Amino acid sequence: NAGVTQTPKFRVLKTGQSMTLLCAQDMNHEYMYWYRQDPGMGLRLIHYSVGEGTTAKGEVPDGYNVSRLKKQNFLLGLESAAPSQTSVYFCASSLGIGRINSPLHFGNGTRLTVT
């Protein structure tokens, strides 16, 4: 049982390049999330999805796009990377917000550097 798997683990981009971060979960969770984690800022929500085919904006959505074509996958895209997007990106999944025994399950992150 892999849980939440993120690829790639590391990536270096030049300003203006694009890329897609992949997230897959095998727990049949309805909700999936993308967070970024920066020193002193904690985890900040970028986008989330409450089910297949749905997406919604979080706290810091600018410069990112997402897609949830299949229940088990949630993709995060950067169309034109900027140095301010240098961060560690975490994908998470859960049964639903506030449901009993429904914590967030996190992947191990993607460390992205934009030069």
Per CB under 8 A, residues contacting other proteins are: 4, 40-45, 58, 90, 92, 97-98, 100-101, 103-109
Shortest Cβ 63–other proteins spacing (Å): 20
SS3 content of the chain, % helix, strand, coil (to 5): 5, 50, 45
CB 43 within 8 A of CB 59: no
Residue whose CB is less far from other proteins, 58 or 77: 58
16: left (phi over 0), alpha (psi -120 to 50) or beta: left
Cα(35)–Cα(1) distance, rounded to whole angstroms? Answer: 23
Shortest Cβ 49–other proteins spacing (Å): 13
Residue whose CB is less far from other proteins, 73 or 102: 102
Shortest Cβ 115–other proteins spacing (Å): 21
Residue whose CB is less far from other proteins, 72 or 102: 102
